[in-house]
């Protein structure tokens, strides 16, 4: 169905514009008039966006809204629904409050689709590049059960919990990152300032320069003389990574799964996400196959996407979750045990919610323990490296004093 961009005048003389779906221009004019508007301009096609409002994206990068943006939208939308505000007015208010133009346009398009008779969940599906499918499914289920406010609040809570875990991981990695940056700055000071200052002294005295100073001087010369090559090489590496990131991500994800710390974290994190999404969708009335299909879009890990697709096939063939998810080594031990217990007791949703809560706590504990282990090891390694460079330099200076006297 074509989309038309229109400009019109309201009953009180205000100018408005928008988009509408219709079979032809005559139908579009009728729909505009049915809204109490007097059309003054009608063109086929969506409204063009000024170039200064367009978002620049590298090829292959996702344009999905940030989790914080989505959380604010769903939380605000739930509050407006609780206040019994009409659906289109609530969407219009949320669009006005949106931060980025891309989010604002998506909400305006959703509002237009709803005004044209589309359900809210379907309208959100049309904006799949901005709003993830799993959130659109939650809204669809809320509409079907006449619990739209509760569904929107559950979506906001889901995003809030995911953001909390991401913030914990970011906060835990902050100190190691600062430590690495400071060590790089110290080494840069030694390479670019101390090395060129000391080497002429050795040359003047006729003494051989220490190997560490020669190596740092070689590094300095390479960085100074070869910086165009380094920049071009870095750009090409980044371009290759962006272009083939899906192909590269599979072996990288497989390697990370085999490492002790990262493997345990990924297993707990993905198991928690699967249990959380399954519980939320099933409690809102989704069938098990629909829930499994939706959860596949919630994980980016190739192994878990394949596992969920396999589980869906098993369930469609008449099998159970415990015969697939409950037997997979990709799932955390707690999740497998809870899935088995939930199906045996016919309390799968409640058990999945309990497993999600427990796994979230374990994931946070795993991150904390990993940082406690990595931070002193990283400090020791960096300290030994920087200390060796400094001690070698001091030793060379002392040797120069012996030669001089």
Q: Does any domain span residue 58?
A: no
Q: Does any domain span residue 62?
A: no
Q: Is the dihedral of CA 306, 309, 315, 320 positive or negative?
A: positive
Q: Does any domain span residue 179?
A: yes
The CATH number for 78's domain is 1.20.81.30
Domain count, the chain: 3
- Structural domain span for residue 139: 67-159
Are 145 and 200 contained in the same domain?
no
Instruction: Provide the 8-state DSSP code for 58.
Output: -
Q: Does any domain span residue 164?
A: no
Are 135 and 269 contained in the same domain?
no
| Statement: the pTM of the whole predicted model exceeds 0.75 | no
Predicted confidence at residue 19, as pLDDT, reads 74
Are 364 and 395 contained in the same domain?
yes
Q: In Å, what is the CA distance from 134 to each residue of 5, 275, 350, 395?
A: 30, 14, 20, 62
First and final C-alpha spacing in the chain: 93
The pairs formed by 332-336 with CB atoms below 8 angstroms and a separation of 24 or more are: 332/267, 332/268, 332/271, 332/272, 332/359, 332/362, 334/271, 334/358, 334/359, 334/362, 335/271, 335/272, 335/274, 335/275, 335/359
Predicted confidence at residue 1, as pLDDT, reads 62
Domain boundary among 159, 184, 199: 159
Are 362 and 344 contained in the same domain?
yes
Q: Which residues of 357-377 are buried (b: 16+ CB within 10 A; e: fewer)?
A: ebbbebbbebbeebbeeeeee
Are 187 and 265 contained in the same domain?
yes
8 A C-beta contact, residue 209 and residue 202: yes
pLDDT mean by block of 10 residues, the chain; 405 residues:
74 72 78 78 62 44 67 89 88 84 86 85 86 88 87 88 78 79 83 81 74 82 85 88 78 82 87 89 87 86 89 89 85 90 88 89 82 78 77 71 56
Predicted confidence at residue 188, as pLDDT, reads 85
DSSP string of 292-324, one letter each residue? HHHHHTT---HHHHHHHHHHHHHHHTT--STTT
Are 120 and 187 contained in the same domain?
no
Are 139 and 260 contained in the same domain?
no
Predicted confidence at residue 57, as pLDDT, reads 46
Are 185 and 220 contained in the same domain?
yes
Are 227 and 373 contained in the same domain?
yes
Are 263 and 204 contained in the same domain?
yes
């Amino acid at each position: 169905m074509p989309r038309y961009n229109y400009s019109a005048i309201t009953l009180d003389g205000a100018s408005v514009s928008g988009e509408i779906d219709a079979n032809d221009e005559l139908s579009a004019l009728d729909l505009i008039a049915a809204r109490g508007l007097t059309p003054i301009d009608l063109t086929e096609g969506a409204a063009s966006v000024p170039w200064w409002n367009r978002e620049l994206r590298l090829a292959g990068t996702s344009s999905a809204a940030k989790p914080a943006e989505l959380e604010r939208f769903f939380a605000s939308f739930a509050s407006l629904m609780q206040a019994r505000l009409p659906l289109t007015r609530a969407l219009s208010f949320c669009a006005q409050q949106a931060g980025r133009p891309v989010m604002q346009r998506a909400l305006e398009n959703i509002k237009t689709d709803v005004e044209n008779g589309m359900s809210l969940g379907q309208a959100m599906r049309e904006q799949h590049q901005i709003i993830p499918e799993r959130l659109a499914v939650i809204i669809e289920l809320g509409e079907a059960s006449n619990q739209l406010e509760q569904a929107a609040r559950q979506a906001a809570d889901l995003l809030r919990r995911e953001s909390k875990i991401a913030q914990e991981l970011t906060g835990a990695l902050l100190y190691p990152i600062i430590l690495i940056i400071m060590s790089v700055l110290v080494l840069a000071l030694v390479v670019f300032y101390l090395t060129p200052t000391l080497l002429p002294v050795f040359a003047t005295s006729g003494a051989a320069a220490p190997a560490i100073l020669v190596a740092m001087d070689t590094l300095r010369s390479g960085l100074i003389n070869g910086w165009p090559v380094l920049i071009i090489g870095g750009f090409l590496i980044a371009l290759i990574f962006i272009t083939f990131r899906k192909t590269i991500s599979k072996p990288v994800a497989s390697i990370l799964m085999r490492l002790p710390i990262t493997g345990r974290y990924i297993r707990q994190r993905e198991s928690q996400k699967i249990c959380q999404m399954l519980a939320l969708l099933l409690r809102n009335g989704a069938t098990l196959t629909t829930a499994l299909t939706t959860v596949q879009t919630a994980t980016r890990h190739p192994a878990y996407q394949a596992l969920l697709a396999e589980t869906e096939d098993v369930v469609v063939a008449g099998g159970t979750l415990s015969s697939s998810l409950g037997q997979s080594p990709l799932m955390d031990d707690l999740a497998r045990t809870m899935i088995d217990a939930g199906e045996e007791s016919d309390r799968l949703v409640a058990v999945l919610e309990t497993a999600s809560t427990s796994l979230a706590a374990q994931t946070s504990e795993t991150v904390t323990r990993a940082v406690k282990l990595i931070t002193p090891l990283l400090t020791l390694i960096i300290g030994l490296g920087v200390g060796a460079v400094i001690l070698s330099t001091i030793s060379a200076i002392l040797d120069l004093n012996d030669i001089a006297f």
